[in-house]
Structures are given as C-alpha cells and as structure tokens.
Amino acid sequence: MTKDNSMGKKTAKSTYGADQITVLEGLEPVRKRPGMYIGSTSATGLHHLIWEVVDNGIDEAMAGSATEIGVSLLPGGMVEIFDNGRGIPVDMHKVTGVSALETVLTKLHAGGKFGEGGGYKVSGGLHGVGVSVVNALSEYLKAEVHREGKIWVQEYAKGIPQKKIKAIGNAKDTCTIITFKPDATIFTETEFNWGKILDRLRQQAYLTKGITIRASDRRSGHREKDYKFHFEGGIKSYIKALNRDETVKNETVFYVEKEVNNSKVEVALQYNDQFNETVLAFANNINNPEGGTHLIGFRTALTRTLNSYARNHNLIKEKEENLTGDDVREGLTAIISVKLTDPQFEGQTKSKLGNAEMKTYVEQVFGDGFLIFLEEHPKEAEAIISKCVLSAQARIAARTARTAILRKGALDGMTLPGKLADCSSRHPEECELYIVEGDSAGGSAKQGRDRKFQAILPLRGKILNVERARLDKMLANNEIKNLVIALGTNIDEQFDLSKLRYHRVIIMTDADVDGAHIRTLLLTLFFRHFNPLVANGNLYIAQPPLYQIKKGAAIKYAYSDEEKEKVIKEMGGEVMEIEEKEDAETQNLPSGAEETEDVKETEEIKKKTANRITIQRYKGLGEMNPTQLWETTMNPEQRIVKQVTVEDAAAADKIFDMLMGDDVAPRKHFIQTHAKKVENLDI
C-alpha cells in the first residue's frame, strides 16, 4: 500500500469553476459509465441488454397489444428480438425534431412510459432508458418497425444514427424487430449464455398469462435449438414447476388475483415438506430479489391468517405461543406479482420495491383470499398448520441448543475452537479464514500461511449434510459448531454480518472426488444458513494447482490440463510418465554412476535427464510442503481464488434441493444427464 502525502495540501493553481463541469450529450454518459445503467459490463450486464428489449415486448403484452415475443441468437454475436405489438411510433416528434423511433433510441428517458394517454398503464424496463441504453452499448443496431402499412428501418452505430428513417416496403401487420450486436470494447464478455436466456424467458412467460415467447439459437458452432413457452395457468403453473419434485402439503395451489386502485395483485402459494422457503417477488414482471413493500405485506398477512385460522379451529393449544414468521415460511413456495402504474424501485437494477401502498394492497388481497382458501380446504389447511407447528417445535429445540452451545462469550472470541489457528490482526477487513480439509493439509497451511492475516480451520472428515437436518441437529455436529464460533456471526435468523471476524472465508479442499464432496457440503451450509455472507461476496473457493511441472531446477505449476500442455510446450524436452514425488535430477541414474571412470557417459546421462520433464499430479493438499502451498494457493499476489456468487437464488435453491435432498430420482436423472460432461474425474 502507498500513502498519498498530497492529501489536504493546497496548490496555488488549483481551481474549480464552470470550465471543470463536463456535460455529456445524448447517449455519451451511457458509454462513459455503463455500469450506472446496466449494473456491470460483465456477463450480467451483457444479458441485461436482452432483458431491456424483451421488457418492451412484455409491456406491449401487458397493455393487451402483443401476444408473441421472439428472441434469436444469430451468427457473429448478433441478437434479434421481435414483438407483435403496435410498433414504435415513426412520425415526427415535435420536441426533438426527429422521428419518434429515433427519439426513443437516442434520448434517455424518452418513451411511452411517461405522461398520460396512449402510453403504458403498467410497464417494466428502465422507464424509457432501456432501448436507448442498448443502442448506446451496441456497435451496431437496426430497428425495423411494421406500422401504418409500411416497413420502416433505421440503423445505428454506437448509438449514432447512420441514416434517416425510411420506408422500405409495405407491411400487413404491426411489430417491432430490434437487431443488435453488443460493443466488444465495452463488455468484458460477449458470449451469451443460452441457459440463462431460456430461464429468463420461461419466467416471463409464467408471469404473463397467455403470451407466447419463442427462443432460437442460430449461432455458428452451436446446434440449432428452438423453444416455445406458453402458460395459460400463469404463476399457478410456475408454482407447480417449482414444486415438481417435492412432496406437497396442499395439492390445490392457492391463487388469488384482484385489482385495487388501478394496481393488480397476484399471489400463488403451495407448501412442501422441505425446511427452506422459496418466495419470489415481482413488480411489473421485474424480479425483486431484495423484496420490498409487496413482500412485507405478503409475510404479514401470511403469519396473521395462519395464526387466526389455527386458533379458531383449535389447531394450536391455548397455552402455546403463536406461530412466528419463520415457522410459517418453512417449506413455503410462493410467488407475489404486482403490477402498478408508477413503480418506485430502490436502485437502478430494481432489486427492491418501495411503493408504500403495495404493502396494504397485498396484505388485503392475499389475507382475505387465503383465509377463504383455508376454510374451503380444511384437510389441506390442517396439513399446512401441522407443518408450521412442527417447525415451531423445532425452532424451540434449536433455540435451546443454540443457547447451550453458542454462548455470547464464545461468539465474542473468548472461547475459539482449539483447532483454529487464528491470525494476529483484529481488523476483519484484512483477515481471511481458510477452511481446510484434514489435519495433514491443515498442518501445511498453518506452517505456510502469513500469520498476520490468515487463519486456518481444519475440518475432520465430511461435515453433516445440512439439507437434510434441522438446526438443533446441526449444532450438535462439532465441525459445524466450530465453524459458527470461528466466524462469530451466529447462524440463521440470529446471523449478524457485522460480527464476521474474517471478510474473506476461503474453502480449500483437495482436487479429487472427496474434496469436491466436502466443498459441496460446505457450500450447502453457507447457502442455507449463512446466506447474507454469500450475498455480500465474502465466500471464496481456493484453486490449488493440479500439476507440478519440473525440468531440472525449473519448477512451474499448472491449474488446468490446458495450462499444463502450454507449460510443457514452453519448457520443451522429453515428457516422462506422471510421477508422484521423485527428483528428476537423480531419476534413472545408474548406481555408482558418479564413481565410474567413464565421465563422458555420465555427463550424457545427466544431460539426458536434465532435458526430461517430470509431471506430478496433486491429488491432495497434503502432498505439497508449506512453501509450495503458500506459493501456489495462499499468497495473495499469486494465488487464484474464485468468489462465490448467486445470480439466481431460485435456481440455486432447486439445485441444492435436488443434489443434496432426500429424493433420489431427480438426483439420479441429473447425474445421468450430465455425467459425460465431467472432466478430470479422479476416483
């Protein structure tokens, strides 16, 4: 780190006036600061371009003007998006002096989502920012509009019109077709993820009843694929899909839909026998991963309604305490979808809805509808209440276990686990905890680490699979208990991220099947019970090298087969059989060679040996000495660590449930489907 000693100093020539104020015209601010508009310039931002154009088609569908949307990935990195709505207006705009199409594509905050009359009553997207941002961040964009009996076309390069809009033929229909190629100078990645696109389009089809969404992959080098999504059941069908492999408590999916003061509220839910909840909240078809007022209203009504029904039907004993929010959400799968005229989101990426009135609307519509559902389905209501009561009993048992095990003093660092080799620094932002597999690797890590900021916690064997266990059973497991105490954050509803003792928590396991299994068990634990830590970007996975490649005194490490081949090519020489731990300089030397009188023959043997490349495949961290482990896996200046993030919480939830849950059939199907894709499998 370097210190800037110029801080606070004044210079005679330092001025701050009108000349220092920069004004960015048109779409220039988008190209200057793309992250402000699409979140990032990585793969997430790249796909955001597609979402913005698709959202315009969804807006047309919600306005009752479109029935079909199409997304096609084309050769050369091009994307074509079609909707059979009314078509973007093409007549002259009185304020801008150019066509309405050019205005929408070149001016921020221009679109049919503002003002009154003729625009959208309900809309998603970036409120007129979306399509202009796509234009600004594309090296090429073509807009084709079928409207007023003609086909209108205009082309752009990096947001700049290349020619004026013109009619090129007659049209019998109305539609908008946007074709664009993302600018490779803006984005760090330009390869679209087909699976991610399909998941998003499928979700939009669920959220917009009756719409048809088609997707096709026509990219060079990709097998042509075509999909069609159409769900008459809407979010009811979505709930059934999410619970497809689960044992459900209420076979009849609860569903309510009602309009209140020009806002529409839609809620569907179903309970299963799992311990986790899956609740998705949407406003104008935009996913709100951080929830918002609509989610608060739903949760309030859910807890109140179930308690009211349970008391009125004597399903909770008089002396027993009420069900809590955590009790009623265990095993819950729910979708809340609201549509409103003027959504107020927190942040450009719309992660949280802020409209205060939506809390009241959702609470009222859902609460009334759910109570009627429970009264009309008494057997299913009893099954749901029984599930919640069981959850309450487990919560009380877990609270008792937590109180006994995780005393306040322990979490304050007074009684840290004996196996934890802590670091000397007491500044969490510079500290990191390595969770290491086994005592052997733990010993090497403890000797090789930088004691100032690196702590080591060895694990003995495989931890409990928390996907199949409640909290009281988890905390009886020594390895999990030690980890909770070492982190200092507590767990589940008492989790406190501000108490995290290490801002980088790094999982370091062997590069074999057992290591992968232990890593998966730990990821399951963190995802289920330390989720804010994952969401905050504090969890990492260490990447130890797979190979040590040695030629004479030169030693290099490779982290993949491709890198191994590259290193071998750079070194040159004869590649030997893959060895475990053998010194290349003494290998294959005849006994007593140095004592022989034939010095020339000895020198030739040494030269031949020196030209050989030996490759050691590391299967365990314990095979590396402390110095090697530090150089390859723990030195911040040289190591490779992967940050664990969750882009789609619902998809991650289903994967963990399928791979780590009790139901064998879906896991078997997954393994059979993906088995051939596995590389470097060590058994």
- Residue 522, pLDDT above cutoff 60: yes
Per-residue confidence band for 8, with pLDDT thresholds at 50, 70 and 90: very low
Q: Is the dihedral of CA 32, 36, 38, 44 positive or negative?
A: positive
pLDDT at position 679 is: 56
Q: Is 437 annotated in the active site?
A: yes
pLDDT at position 1 is: 35
pLDDT at position 395 is: 82
pLDDT at position 2 is: 36
Structural tokens at position 250: 């209420």
| Span of 370-384, 547-561, 658-672 with lowest mean pLDDT | 658-672
Catalytic residue among 514, 582, 585, 648: 514
Per-residue confidence band for 24, with pLDDT thresholds at 50, 70 and 90: very low
Per-residue confidence band for 133, with pLDDT thresholds at 50, 70 and 90: very high
| Mean pLDDT score of the chain | 83
CB 30 within 8 A of CB 137: yes
| Span of 92-106, 177-191, 224-238, 356-370 with lowest mean pLDDT | 92-106
Please list, in sequence order, all residues whose beta carbon lies within 8 angstroms of the beta carbon of residue 22, skipping any fewer than 6 positions away: none
Average the pLDDT over 172-196 and give the result: 95
- Residue 597, pLDDT above cutoff 90: no
Per-residue confidence band for 653, with pLDDT thresholds at 50, 70 and 90: low
Q: Which single residue is written with the structure tokens 């619970």?
A: 243
pLDDT at position 28 is: 80
Share of the chain above pLDDT 70, in %: 81
Range picked from 20-24, 36-40, 521-525, 572-576 for highest mean pLDDT: 521-525
- Residue 14, pLDDT above cutoff 50: no
Rounded to whole angstroms, how far apart are CA atoms 66 and 349? 25
Q: Which single residue is written with the structure tokens 């504090």?
A: 538
Average the pLDDT over 611-616 and give the result: 83
- Angle at the Cα of 265 (from 261 to 268), degrees rounded to 5? 165
**pLDDT tens for each residue of 626-643:** 999 999 999 999 899 999
Of the CA atoms within 13 Å of residue 633, those in its CB half-sphere come to 35
- Residue 582, pLDDT above cutoff 90: no
CB 492 within 8 A of CB 422: no
Catalytic residue among 60, 510, 623, 653: 510
The H helix count followed by the E strand count for the chain is: 22, 25
Average the pLDDT over 260-283 and give the result: 93
pLDDT at position 29 is: 82
Partnered with residue 437 across adjacent β-strands are 459
Ramachandran class of 502: left when φ > 0, alpha when ψ lies in -120 to 50, beta otherwise: beta
Concatenating the DSSP letter of every residue in 419-465 gives: T-B--S---GGG-EEEEEEHHHHHHHHHHHS-TTTEEEEEE-SPPP-
pLDDT at position 402 is: 66
Q: Phi/psi at 499 (nearest 5 deg)?
A: -90, 0
Grouping H, G, I as helix, E, B as strand and the rest as coil, residue 158 is coil
pLDDT at position 312 is: 94
Grouping H, G, I as helix, E, B as strand and the rest as coil, residue 98 is coil
Nearest to 507 by CA among 473, 530, 489: 530
Rounded to whole angstroms, how far apart are CA atoms 587 and 488? 50
Rounded to whole angstroms, how far apart are CA atoms 162 and 54? 24
Rounded to whole angstroms, how far apart are CA atoms 479 and 427? 25
- How far is CA 646 from each of CA 229, 295, 350, 435, 649, rounded to the nearest angstrom? 25, 20, 17, 20, 6
- How far is CA 287 from each of CA 46, 238, 535, rounded to the nearest angstrom? 18, 14, 16
Q: Phi/psi at 661 (nearest 5 deg)?
A: -85, -170
Give 47 or 39, the one with higher predicted confidence. 47
**pLDDT tens for each residue of 195-250:** 999 999 999 999 998 899 999 999 988 888 899 999 999 999 999 999 988 889 99
Partnered with residue 260 across adjacent β-strands are 263
Ramachandran class of 572: left when φ > 0, alpha when ψ lies in -120 to 50, beta otherwise: left
Average the pLDDT over 175-195 and give the result: 95
Nearest to 359 by CA among 338, 374, 373, 342: 338
Average the pLDDT over 70-84 and give the result: 96
Rounded to whole angstroms, how far apart are CA atoms 136 and 34? 9
Average the pLDDT over 62-72 and give the result: 93
| Span of 475-479, 635-639, 649-653 with lowest mean pLDDT | 649-653
Element (H, E) at 181: strand 175-182
Share of the chain above pLDDT 90, in %: 49
Rounded to whole angstroms, how far apart are CA atoms 460 and 648? 32
Burial status of residue 50 (CB atoms within 10 A of its CB: 0-12, 13-18, 19 or more): buried
Ramachandran class of 360: left when φ > 0, alpha when ψ lies in -120 to 50, beta otherwise: alpha
pLDDT at position 576 is: 65
- Residue 276, pLDDT above cutoff 80: yes
pLDDT at position 394 is: 83
**pLDDT tens for each residue of 417-475:** 888 999 999 999 999 999 998 888 888 899 999 999 999 999 987 888 888 787 778 88
* 3-state per-residue secondary structure call for 15-29: CCCHHHCCCCCCCHH
Per-residue confidence band for 539, with pLDDT thresholds at 50, 70 and 90: very high
Q: Where are the alpha helices (DSSP H) in 539-647?
A: 561-571, 599-610, 626-629
Element (H, E) at 375: helix 357-376
Count the neighbouring beta carbons within 10 Å of the beta carbon of residue 546: 20
Average the pLDDT over 272-289 and give the result: 90
Catalytic residue among 189, 245, 273, 512: 512
Rounded to whole angstroms, how far apart are CA atoms 455 and 433? 5
Q: Is the dihedral of CA 197, 198, 204, 205 positive or negative?
A: positive
Count the neighbouring beta carbons within 10 Å of the beta carbon of residue 511: 19
Average the pLDDT over 353-373 and give the result: 96
Grouping H, G, I as helix, E, B as strand and the rest as coil, residue 74 is strand
Cα 582 to chain centroid distance, Å, stands at: 43
Average the pLDDT over 322-345 and give the result: 93
Structural tokens at position 306: 């179930």
Catalytic residue among 183, 437, 623, 653: 437
**pLDDT tens for each residue of 349-362:** 578 899 999 999 99
Q: Which amino acid is at 442?
A: G
- How far is CA 443 from each of CA 458, 507, 624, 627, 634, rounded to the nearest angstrom? 8, 16, 11, 12, 14
Q: Is the dihedral of CA 556, 558, 562, 565 positive or negative?
A: positive
Per-residue confidence band for 416, with pLDDT thresholds at 50, 70 and 90: confident
Rounded to whole angstroms, how far apart are CA atoms 204 and 267? 16
Q: Which amino acid is at 237?
A: S
Please list, in sequence order, all residues whose beta carbon lies within 8 angstroms of the beta carbon of residue 64, skipping any fewer than 6 positions away: none
pLDDT at position 571 is: 84
Structural tokens at position 468: 């199949």
pLDDT at position 553 is: 81
Rounded to whole angstroms, how far apart are CA atoms 581 and 627? 16
pLDDT at position 204 is: 94
Burial status of residue 579 (CB atoms within 10 A of its CB: 0-12, 13-18, 19 or more): middle
Q: Is 510 annotated in the active site?
A: yes
**pLDDT tens for each residue of 387-400:** 999 988 888 877 77
Rounded to whole angstroms, how far apart are CA atoms 519 and 521? 5
pLDDT at position 602 is: 57
- Taken in order of first residue, the domains within the chain and their CATH numbers are 28-229 (3.30.565.10), 235-402 (3.30.230.10), 408-544+643-677 (3.40.50.670)
Q: Which single residue is written with the structure tokens 């733990």?
A: 442
